[in-house]
Chains A and B, each alone.
Chain A
Amino acid sequence: MTRDVHLAVTEHFARYGVDEALIGPALAAATAHGADHAELFFQHSESTSIGLSDRIVNRVHTSVDLGVGVRVVVGDQVGYAYTEDLTLEHVLRAARTAAEIARGSGASAPVRVAGAVEVPDFYPLSRSWGDVELSERIPLVRAWEQAAFDADARVRKVQIHLSDGESRVLVARADGRRVADLRPMTSAWVSVNVEDGGRAEHGSYNVAGRTGLELYDPGRQQRLVDLAVDRAVKALDAGSAPAGELPVVMAAGSSGILLHEAIGHGMEADFNRKGTSIFADKMGRSVAHDTVTVVDDATLPGSRGALNVDDEGNATERTVLVDHGTMASYLHDEISARHYGVAPTGSGRRQSFRHPVLPRMRATYMEAGPHDPADIIASVKHGVYCETFANGQVQIGGGDFAFYVRFGYLIEDGRLTRPIKDVNLVGNGPKVLAAIDMVGNDLVIDEGGWTCGKDGQGVPVSQGMPTVRVSKLSVGGGR
């Protein structure tokens, strides 16, 4: 299968004139002044999205993106250029531009050592999205709409998006390595408005995966609709959270946003080699209770964060960031791996050929712990239970982070009581990591379509979490 993918992608790009007759001179130009590393990142992406509102399937958008990014690395310095024109003239121009970074550096050009590299297949496709007709997508959307109206008499409006696409990438490195990948992606979003006795609210649910039409099995379709309606209906009765520092219980699943913000970004090695991460001097040190193990994993089959190979052409892996409370590894790209004298972790990612590589998360989650989730809730006398989330942010150096809770509950005397909504929670990464004092035995990898932003680049990620208790977080309620 993997050999087939490599051949198929290579032959695909050959139809655009991308072959060794183009790659060879371009890499020669890129390394003309020397380089520690250089690569060409060819990408061809095609995507389709359809939308339903006002009870009609009334929108379709198609997109095609084709181009190559040329990167030349000297030490920790990067020259970058891209072009959407794959003719030799334009690719050479981009390569010469990127090569300027190395002028006068004295770096040695990489030695050509390898050929095509086989990669694993974490997202086997039974059928290409290119072979799925719009006429097959529309009935799905229609069915979800009807199911939403049928689910609750209070549903007034339904909106739906269904998006899919495939990206073909070919990484041609100056050391001779050639790596190809075919990356599918699909996501669906259902949003409903509900009204009840003059009150109105809305709710939504989404699912996503690096896979094909098979993502939408009957169970997932049911969840997509039911949870959208459920969230809207529950929001009708929800009020403001309290204000101040409180114990917080994070529900299993998308609570992984806490890990993503509190520790994930701080473990990206570029911040650490520059000394700008609050975790820069904590490798090998205890940072959490020994029930806490945090992983960033590119190998979860079909997950949104899955990657067969990273965008530098390196093998991906399951990277343990925190091992039973002890900081174990950063997330490395080529530059940081060379800086620290370790192997890359396959974390070099970019939004597209228009962007240089950065160390990024893939699927970040906490391993299951020993506690019964019911016991975790029962342990809190007065606190907040966070169930669904919207977005987050972190200050890498200061360590302060925030995540926005769409819906949750107040915890009173160990029980979930009054529903709450729309509240921002803030904390400090190392402090909060140390404050996770109960870890549930119910790890859930969230199936939603999360996108991580860094330096203006968005990449698809996954996240997961068992139920956990944080002894103290600042809760931004009190309206």
Chain B
Amino acid sequence: MNDAILDLAERVVGKVLELGADEVSVGVSEGSHTDITRRDGKVEQASESSTRRLGLSLLLDDKWSTHSSSDLRPEALDHFLERAVAATRFLEPDAARRLPPADLCGRGASEASLDHFDPAWKAFTPADRATLAQQLEDAVLARRDDDFISATVSASDGWGRHVQVTSHGFADATEGAWYALSAGLTLSDADGRRPEGHASYAARYRTDLPDIGRIADEAVERAQEAKGAGPIASGKYPMLLLNRVAGRILGTLSGPLSGYNLHHGQSCLAGKRGLRIGSDVLTILDDPTIPRGLASTPWDGDLMAAVPRTVVEGGVLQTYYLSTYYARKLEEQPTTGERTNWIVPPGVRSWSEIASAFPRAILVTGFLGGNHNALTGDFSFGIRGRLLEHGVPTTPLSEMNVAGNTLQIFHQLVEAADDPWTYSATVAPTLVFEDVQFSGT
């Protein structure tokens, strides 16, 4: 544990209590971040930074406030804390605000089992970063054809540690590193368009990143599939939602499941716990304990131990996301206020095998804009992808939308493919839906 930031957090807790607060929670984060971006054969941008920041929540006479600062000079911090406490006094009491009971606070997984810190990160030199970026660029450029315009790649990595201390005895720290690689290229098209393709990957361990050839292949494939793209006729089609973008439609459940929306009457899933909200295929697990998981965490925003929970099982809604604050408001028991890794169990068949049964279906490979109404469940998103004819990709698609409703779409989920995407906090396979409304021409 870094004594300097732990000491700082403990000092601030003591100081804010001295100033009159009843309860205090202080977090201090420090970290570093490096990025090398290359374009068309040379370094376009190299950036490096180290950072430190303090966050504070305090409760005073049932009045609650939050504050943050990057100016951690002692004299500045004292002034900042005095102003924070003074500002809190202006508020009106909200009896639902307070730290969770101390016995609910703690760790769901040890640092060792979370395995967020790659020991090799310390030995990852600027030369290593430069080499990695160069290799990725070489891989992309090796795949260029006559239609090539430009390619940009980046190699990023970082490290961070966070300590959290409360006035009721919680004190803990967590530390992790991360790596990311991305590649994008622009091609020329016959109609003057310059279609783009991108591929991005992130991982906790460098050795968990895919081979750079795979990243380059994917970027090229995405750009190539965008060439000649356009809309087809509006109508209902089977939809294959590619694994890496499945989070967009699954994500329409997140808002309605939140205590915030449930409490404020803005959730289409209010009153649906224990009821069917989708087909038998729909199962979602929330697991903050996955080793090296991108959204794994030892504790949640309330400092309650982060533990796995089933969100939806066989189409039946099992739980809501209730922080201690909204649980009190709703007179419920708290679960957790934040979603972590979402796991959708895979099926047994490949998506192409599944699609072969459909004369015409739409494979959605990306989204463009769109939004979702958490209260009504209505959504409408722009898409790009391919028309599938008996499972074979044919016409490239763009300038189309998919529209539906959260309360309906998951009843149309008929199968999950066998290809879970592990480079995201939403670990889902390609999902297959029937009778989905697309708009085009």
Q: Which residues of A contact B (CB under 8 A)?
A: 44, 48, 50, 53-54, 56-67, 76-84, 94, 97, 100-101, 134-135, 138, 156-157, 159, 193, 195, 200-202, 240, 243-245, 261, 274-278, 280-281, 354, 356, 390-393, 395-404, 421-428, 430, 474-479
Contact of B373 among A138, A275, A422 (CB under 8 A): A422
Q: For the complex, what is the distance from the CA of A393 to the CA of B381, rounded to whole Å?
A: 11
Inter-chain contacts of B88 with A (CB < 8 A): 60
With A58-B97, A202-B375, A243-B234 in contact, do A65 and B70 touch (Cβ < 8 Å)? yes
CB distance from A278 to the nearest CB of B (A): 6
Top 6 A-B pairs ranked by shortest CB distance? A476-B401, A402-B369, A397-B194, A243-B439, A402-B382, A424-B380
Inter-chain contacts of A134 with B (CB < 8 A): 87, 90
Q: For the complex, what is the distance from the CA of A65 to the CA of B405, rounded to whole Å?
A: 41
Q: For the complex, what is the distance from the CA of A425 to the CA of B371, rounded to whole Å?
A: 11
6 contacting pairs across A/B (C-beta < 8 A): A63-B67, A79-B46, A81-B49, A202-B266, A400-B384, A402-B368
B373 engages A57 (CB within 8 Å): no
B375-416, CB < 8 A from A: 375-376, 378-382, 384, 398-405
Q: Which residues of B contact A (CB under 8 A)?
A: 39-40, 42-53, 63-72, 76, 80, 83-84, 87-88, 90-94, 97, 149-150, 152, 186, 189, 192-196, 226, 229, 231, 234, 264-266, 329, 368-373, 375-376, 378-382, 384, 398-405, 437-441
B440 engages A474 (CB within 8 Å): yes
Q: For the complex, what is the distance from the CA of A457 to the CA of B329, rounded to whole Å?
A: 35
Q: For the complex, what is the distance from the CA of A243 to the CA of B380, rounded to whole Å?
A: 11
Inter-chain contacts of A202 with B (CB < 8 A): 265-266, 375
A135 engages B90 (CB within 8 Å): yes
With A193-B265, A422-B371, A478-B439 in contact, do A275 and B149 touch (Cβ < 8 Å)? yes
A77 engages B375 (CB within 8 Å): no
Across the interface, name the chain B residue whose C-beta is closest to A405.
B380
B264 engages A426 (CB within 8 Å): no
Q: For the complex, what is the distance from the CA of A474 to the CA of B399, rounded to whole Å?
A: 7
Across the interface, name the chain B residue whose C-beta is closest to A45.
B70
A62 engages B67 (CB within 8 Å): yes
With A84-B70, A274-B39 in contact, do A398 and B226 touch (Cβ < 8 Å)? yes
Inter-chain contacts of B382 with A (CB < 8 A): 393, 400, 402, 424, 426, 476
B399 engages A60 (CB within 8 Å): no
Inter-chain contacts of A66 with B (CB < 8 A): 70-71, 76
The residue among B150, B373, B399 with the most chain A CB atoms within 10 A of its own CB is B399
A422 engages B380 (CB within 8 Å): yes
A59 engages B91 (CB within 8 Å): yes
Contact of B65 among A61, A354, A356 (CB under 8 A): A61
Inter-chain contacts of A157 with B (CB < 8 A): 264-265
Inter-chain contacts of A84 with B (CB < 8 A): 51-53, 70-72
Inter-chain contacts of B405 with A (CB < 8 A): 479
Inter-chain contacts of A397 with B (CB < 8 A): 149, 186, 193-196
A474 engages B400 (CB within 8 Å): yes
Inter-chain contacts of B234 with A (CB < 8 A): 243-244, 478
Known: A64-B80, A201-B375, A244-B439. 4 other contacts (CB 8 A): A78-B44, A82-B51, A134-B90, A474-B400
Contact of B264 among A159, A195, A430, A474 (CB under 8 A): A159
CB distance from A208 to the nearest CB of B (A): 20
Inter-chain contacts of B97 with A (CB < 8 A): 58
B403 engages A477 (CB within 8 Å): yes
CB distance from A171 to the nearest CB of B (A): 18
Across the interface, name the chain B residue whose C-beta is closest to A101.
B46
Across the interface, name the chain B residue whose C-beta is closest to A82.
B49
Inter-chain contacts of B195 with A (CB < 8 A): 395, 397-398
Inter-chain contacts of A58 with B (CB < 8 A): 63-64, 91-94, 97
CB distance from B137 to the nearest CB of A (A): 14
A426 engages B379 (CB within 8 Å): no
Q: For the complex, what is the distance from the CA of A97 to the CA of B48, rounded to whole Å?
A: 7
Across the interface, name the chain B residue whose C-beta is closest to A48.
B87
Across the interface, name the chain A residue whose C-beta is closest to B437.
A478
Q: For the complex, what is the distance from the CA of A64 to the CA of B194, rounded to whole Å?
A: 42
Q: For the complex, what is the distance from the CA of A134 to the CA of B83, rounded to whole Å?
A: 11
A476 engages B380 (CB within 8 Å): yes
Q: For the complex, what is the distance from the CA of A399 to the CA of B70, rounded to whole Å?
A: 39
Inter-chain contacts of A354 with B (CB < 8 A): 49, 51
Contact of A393 among B91, B266, B369, B441 (CB under 8 A): B369
Q: For the complex, what is the distance from the CA of A55 to the CA of B265, rounded to whole Å?
A: 15
A422 engages B65 (CB within 8 Å): no
With A393-B368, A398-B398, A477-B380 in contact, do A356 and B403 touch (Cβ < 8 Å)? no
Q: For the complex, what is the distance from the CA of A281 to the CA of B398, rounded to whole Å?
A: 22
